[in-house]
Structure 1
Amino acid sequence: MTDNEHDRSAGPGPLGTGDEDVTGEAAPATRRVRLVAVRRRPGWPPAHYEAGDLDLTPGEWVVVPTDHGPEVGVVAGRPLEVELPAGAPLARVERLASTREIDLYYQNLEAEKEAREVCRERVRALGLAMKLVQVERYFDGSKVVFAYSAEGRVDFRQLVRDLVRALHTRVEMRQIGIRHEAKAVGGVGHCGRVLCCAGFLGTFDPVSIRMAKAQNLPLNPGKISGRCGRLLCCLNYEYETYRDLRKGMPKMGRRCLTPAGEGKVIRQDVLQQTLKVLLPDGSQVEYTLDELRRFQNGEPPPPPPSPE
């Protein structure tokens, strides 16, 4: 074992916790960074990078790192100062792009269009049951990635050979799911805005029907499904808030004590924190959760607001 390997495996010493600097003070939990959105292709959702000390304005061309090397993109908005967890991974804008790099960017766009047409023609000729969704040519021209969707497995070995012969570069075929297809194609959602996946989402978090139920949404597939046919990604956004607000609220159908007698909960308004209760005489009364808690704990009701 080398000295470096020994240091890494040893972990923090007996006097340290791993979260301290050399002075013994606890490391800060967050850090402030200048965040900037950069769009690498027209129509693609922007990715966010640390701007550093660069004074960037919308429309400027920059070079950013990717998992396959540097790429050129366009700044999509002014940098914003945000606070992030100290250990959050965040790539940094490398520098402004040169005129030559911008010209190469446009050449790559034209090469991608050509590659798309060649691939579509060969897919038709070979009779493959697949749908070409997106084409990306690496900035250095070392590879072209074809993203496609298909219901099952596709034998594209002959297609790859034909593409390599026509494009004179490496080729990768990447099968994507229906959500990623919607992200690549784009569109407008039920809300009238650009699809979240095409606008800003970088990853897809799990979504379940439980989230729709927690928000009292109608369980109509046409209303809670997106363009991809799957459950709306936005069901995730407020789910935690609804779940927290529901804590302590009597469930639908449960009986509870009210100032007007015992009744059954027939409606909840989670955001307003109110309940509608059906009384034995058939009347319906609405109470706030705070009113019911005060009554059940034997506390007096809050004083009425003073007249203005």
Structure 2
Amino acid sequence: MRGAVSESQVVGVRFQPTGKVYHFYASDQALRTGDFVLVETVRGQQLGEAVCMRPLRAGEDIKKLKPVQRRANGLDLARRQQWQQKEKETLIVAREAAEQLGLPIKIVSAEYAFDGQRLTLLYVSENQDLNLKRLRQRLQRAVDVHIDLRQIGPRDHAKLLGGYGSCGELRCCSRCLPEFSRISIKMAKVQGISLSPSEITGMCNRLRCCLTYEYEQYREACKIMPRRRRRVKTPHGEGKVIDLLPLEGIVVVSIDDRRLEVPVEQVELIKKK
């Protein structure tokens, strides 16, 4: 059942299916999660979906939050569809203009503000210092609205494209990740994942987002595990640690050329002399 909202509520609004959630103030509006609302943003008036609600916290300054203007009606939703169609047409025009100017960029998205006063074009390029003045001028004559040209990175590009990851599932970034986390090689090492590029990089050629999912659990579990290649005592005799299964609490020990899996609580480190 969709959750109802009473007075003095902070409403989380999302403008893209897996986009970041922005917060607005709703006063005396019987909104529900799943409703579409109109709000004012730095990019003009936008239509978004109310995805979460919470009461106004004690001492929270509502002046720092912009208000929800109103719930969207049928005409608003029809108008949004019209803008979405125009975005497709504008994207074709923008790509043709960039190609004619010989610019080394790929325009991947066109987004109109709901009030039609602003157009945001997202593009990817290996060049960080491009002069896009001529492109802006040409497009300005074609669409006659304020134009923002914003460069995005490979991860954001992959999110826009969607598709499937090497695991066979829909890419996490386009399915369920509103924001990207910081990822490091250390996360793969702690989890015992091969450092082969094919094993740890995603379709964006960056470290896979899923490396963060179990990292904290592995990190905590590893605190009580001996290090690889350390000599240890076990109920089966002395041996050397050759592998770890942190989440199972298992230490893999080589004893007399035998590979044994021993619970970590039955393993005792042999102190170095």
Bucket of the pairwise TM-score, normalised by the shorter protein: 0.7 to 0.9
Is 1:284 the counterpart of 2:259? The answer is yes
Matches within 5 A, 1:129-140: 129-140=104-115
Match for residue 304 of structure 1? none
**Cα contact 1:50–1:92 (8 A) shared by 2:** no
Residue 38 of structure 1, CA deviation: 5.7
TM-score (norm 2): 0.80
- Number of matched pairs: 254
Match for residue 71 of structure 2? 96
Say which structure is richer in strand.
2
Structure 2: which 5+ runs fail to align? 1-7
Counterparts of 1:174 and 1:34 in 2: how far apart (Å)? 33
Query: Secondary structure, in 3 states, of the residue corresponding to 2:96?
Result: helix
Matches within 5 A, 1:99-138: 99-138=74-113
Residue 39 of structure 1, CA deviation: 5.3
Q: Which structure has the larger Rg?
A: 1
Is 1:141 the counterpart of 2:120? The answer is no
Residue 129 of structure 1, CA deviation: 1.0
Query: Secondary structure, in 3 states, of the residue corresponding to 1:121?
Result: helix
Query: RMSD of the alignment, in Å?
Result: 3.1
Counterparts of 2:250 and 2:100 in 1: how far apart (Å)? 63
Structure 1: which 5+ runs fail to align? 1-32, 297-308
Task: Rate the CA distance shift 1:165–1:274 in 2: closer, same or farther, 3 A.
Answer: same
Match for residue 166 of structure 1? 142
Say which is worse superposed, 135-144 or 92-101, in terms of deviation.
92-101
**Cα contact 1:37–1:47 (8 A) shared by 2:** no
Query: Secondary structure, in 3 states, of the residue corresponding to 1:271?
Result: helix
Q: Aligned partner of 1:134: which letter?
A: S
Match for residue 187 of structure 2? 211
Q: Aligned partner of 2:222: which letter?
A: R
Match for residue 45 of structure 1? 18
Q: Aligned partner of 1:148: which letter?
A: Y
Is 1:257 the counterpart of 2:233? The answer is yes
Counterparts of 2:266 and 2:71 in 1: how far apart (Å)? 60
Identity of aligned residues (%): 36
Is 1:73 the counterpart of 2:73? The answer is no
TM-score (norm 1): 0.71
Query: Secondary structure, in 3 states, of the residue corresponding to 1:276?
Result: strand
Residue 208 of structure 1, CA deviation: 1.2
Match for residue 4 of structure 2? none
Task: Rate the CA distance shift 1:132–1:100 in 2: closer, same or farther, 3 A.
Answer: same
Counterparts of 1:263 and 1:160 in 2: how far apart (Å)? 69
Counterparts of 1:220 and 1:92 in 2: how far apart (Å)? 49
Task: Rate the CA distance shift 1:81–1:254 in 2: closer, same or farther, 3 A.
Answer: farther
**Cα contact 1:65–1:91 (8 A) shared by 2:** yes
Query: Secondary structure, in 3 states, of the residue corresponding to 1:174?
Result: strand
Is 1:200 the counterpart of 2:173? The answer is no
Residue 45 of structure 1, CA deviation: 1.6
Match for residue 189 of structure 1? 165
**Cα contact 2:44–2:117 (8 A) shared by 1:** no
Query: Secondary structure, in 3 states, of the residue corresponding to 2:247?
Result: coil
Using CA pairs under 8 Å that are at least 6 residues apart, name the structure with larger relative contact order, 1 or 2: 2
Counterparts of 2:18 and 2:33 in 1: how far apart (Å)? 18
Say which is worse superposed, 158-167 or 283-292, in terms of deviation.
283-292
Match for residue 273 of structure 1? 249
Residue 222 of structure 1, CA deviation: 1.4
Q: Aligned partner of 1:289: which letter?
A: V
